[in-house]
Amino acid sequence: MTAPLASFRSWGGLAARDSAIVDARDWLDTPHRPRRPLLAYGNGRSYGDSCLNNGGTLIDTRGLDDILAFDRETGVLTCGAGLLLDRLLDIVVPAGWFPPVTPGTAFVTVGGALVNDVHGKNHHSAGTFGCHVRAFELMRSDGQRLICAPDLNPELFAATIGGFGLTGLVTQVTLQLRPIASAEMAQEVLHFGDLASFFDIAAASDATHDYTVAWIDSLAGGRHLGRGVFFRANHAPASDALAPREARSLPFPLKPPFPLINRLTLSAFNWLYRNSQPRDGLARRVPYRPFFYPLDRIHDWNRAYGPKGLRQFQCAVPMDKAHDAVAMMLGQMLDAGEASFLTVLKLFGNRPSPGLMSFPVPGATLTLDFPNRGARTERLLARLDALAIAAGGRINPYKDARMSPATFAASFPRWRDFAGHVDPGFSSDFWRRVTAG
């Protein structure tokens, strides 16, 4: 099988060159352990280099996108690992079902959601994506085709969920969906003036709402440090009322030669965004897509960060250290003169993931992103890493583009146990970087 060589970029703009690409359907017919390391490639929405394999072979899974079984009575669905959540939603929502956990974009594959063990706005109530996986099929590079479940090949089941695609090729997934009565959300919007208020609102909201998340005004300092807008929602009950219309999707209109995200543009955006949100605290019915996937409306929105791309940072820190750690991170960003466009803060719950290397831990999670300005950005991210680790926290691997081996080991002390389950024929730029030396 001759595979063409090409360059691939992650969503954050990192590049891997001279990667061969093969269709997963072709590779499944003749699996083999080549001299070049293998890695499954879905829709390339990872921000860092966990989806890249410089000089290796990428197995394109997007052809594995069939619905193999769907029990509309129980909500148990089996599909190919290359199925996009976007298409899954179009199939299951009209039938009264919804993915049990969804990240902030629908343009990820089901297999990508599994191997990254993604979390969503309902982590406090539902845990991670892996908590709802009943089984999956795993193809190893030696030709073994294994069914993995909690009681069948359980060690590989745990290693593959959140295992960065390194245990082999996931070909199909069986998932338990959750029932819904409508395609709308009952959403409430609350404004808060500082970080302490966020923690008070979040703790109360997590007890009453399945979905919670806060947008933080990253430029607010002093007594307003951590101010923002809190969104909380449940799936709305059935209604005969006319459903609210969704805004149509738009393309990002240009490829700017420099980042459009800076303190000046962000100051204007933050003011407009904060003041455009309702202040009455009333529940409103909204379509599910803009609630879960607000940025999916703008195709190729990552172009706004310029030709060097963006660097995203996400950490999770234990609750007893969360307030102080988040305050220090926001302060560090302000001191560095940086501006984060997507500044998101929420609480993680106590439900453990079945995944050996899953990212979430009980506490708070902060997400920041910055235009890639080279060494200046690297220095800030290193300081943020250090603050998270000092607080007993960890860094999210599938959002990462540059954490050190020491930071990875501190984040995931069981990584050597996981390494014993890595398929010898699989690797990635991320894995080679964090295990170097």
* CATH for 266: 3.30.70.2520
Read off φ and ψ for residue 188, nearest 5 degrees: -120, 145
For 141, other C-beta atoms within 10 Å of its C-beta total 18
Q: What amino acid occupies position 169?
A: L
**4 pLDDT higher than 80:** no
Distance CA 158, CA 138 (A): 12
- According to the model, what pLDDT value does residue 35 have? 78
Q: H helices then E strands: how many in the chain?
A: 13, 21
**Arithmetic mean of pLDDT over the chain:** 95
Instruction: Answer yes or no: is 231 within a domain.
Output: yes
Average pLDDT of span 168-197: 98
Looking at residues 56-60, what average pLDDT do you find?
Answer: 95
Query: Residue 366 forms beta bridges with which residues?
Result: 315, 345
The average pLDDT across 278-295 equals: 95
pLDDT band per the 50, 70, 90 thresholds, residue 409? very high
Confidence band (pLDDT; 50, 70, 90) for 437? low
Q: Residue 2 — very low, low, confident or very high, per pLDDT cuts 50/70/90?
A: low
Q: Residue 278: its pLDDT value, please? A: 95
Name which of 313, 345, 366, 344 is nearest 48 in CA terms.
313
Report the alpha-carbon distance of residue 290 to residue 246 in Å, rounded. 8
Report residue 279's pLDDT band, with 50, 70 and 90 as the boundaries: very high
Q: Return the residue matching tokens 């390494």.
A: 419
Question: Pick the residue with more confidence: 409 or 253?
Answer: 409
Residue 80 covered by a domain? no
Residues in Cβ contact with 313 at an 8 Å cutoff, skipping those fewer than 6 apart:
366, 367, 368, 369, 370, 381, 384, 385, 395, 399, 400
- Domain assignment of residue 206, yes or no: yes
Tell me what pLDDT residue 231 has. 98
pLDDT value at 312 more than 90: yes
Q: How much is the pLDDT for 32?
A: 65
Task: Give the per-residue pLDDT at 15.
Answer: 87
Report d(CA 132, CA 394) in Å as an integer: 23
Judged by average pLDDT, the poorest of 27-31, 174-178, 216-220, 241-245 is 241-245
The pLDDT score that the predictor gives to residue 29 is 87
Average pLDDT on 204-212 reads: 98
Q: How many domains does the chain have?
A: 1
Q: Is the sign of the CA dihedral 40, 44, 45, 49 positive or negative?
A: positive
- Token couple for 357: 């290397």
Does the pLDDT value for residue 1 go beyond 60? no
pLDDT at 3 over 90: no
Q: What is the per-residue pLDDT for 310?
A: 95
Looking at residue 428, what is its pLDDT? 97
Residue 213 in any domain: the answer is yes
pLDDT on residue 74: 98
The answer to whether residue 298 is domain-embedded is yes
Residue 248 has pLDDT above 80, yes or no: no
Do residues 139 and 131 lie in contact, with contact meaning Cβ atoms separated by under 8 Å?
no
Q: Which residues contact 95 (CB under 8 A, 6 or more apart)?
A: 70, 72
pLDDT band per the 50, 70, 90 thresholds, residue 6: confident
Among residues of the chain, what percentage have pLDDT more than 90? 88
- Local confidence band at 252 (pLDDT 50, 70, 90 cut-offs): confident
Q: Which helix (H) or strand (E) holds 264?
A: helix 263-276
Q: Could you give the C-alpha distances from 60 to 1, 39, 398, in angstroms and in order?
A: 14, 9, 18
Phi, psi of 392 (to 5 degrees): 80, 20
DSSP 3-state of 125: helix
- Residue 16 contacts residue 5 (beta carbons within 8 Å): no
422 domain-assigned:
no
For residue 243, what are the domain limits? Answer: 184-404
- For 372-398, write each residue's pLDDT tens digit: 999 999 999 999 999 999 999 999 999
pLDDT of residue 46: 94
Instruction: Name residue 230's beta-bridge partners.
Output: 190, 214
pLDDT band at residue 33 under the 50/70/90 scheme: low
Percent of the chain exceeding pLDDT 70 equals 98
pLDDT of 255 reads 85
> Rounded to 5, what percent of the chain is helix, strand, coil?
30, 25, 45
Q: Which two tokens stand for residue 293?
A: 């996937």
Q: Is residue 199, in this structure, part of any structural domain at all?
A: yes
Task: Tell me if 253 is assigned to some domain.
Answer: yes
Question: Between the CA of residue 267 and those of 217, 263, 305, 310, what are the distances in Å?
Answer: 9, 6, 16, 19
- pLDDT the model gives residue 31: 65
**Mean pLDDT of the 300-325 span:** 96
Query: For residue range 320-367, what is the model confidence (pLDDT) as tens digits?
Result: 999 999 999 999 999 999 989 989 999 999 999 999 999 999 999 999
pLDDT in tens, 118-158: 999 999 999 999 999 999 999 999 999 999 999 999 999 99
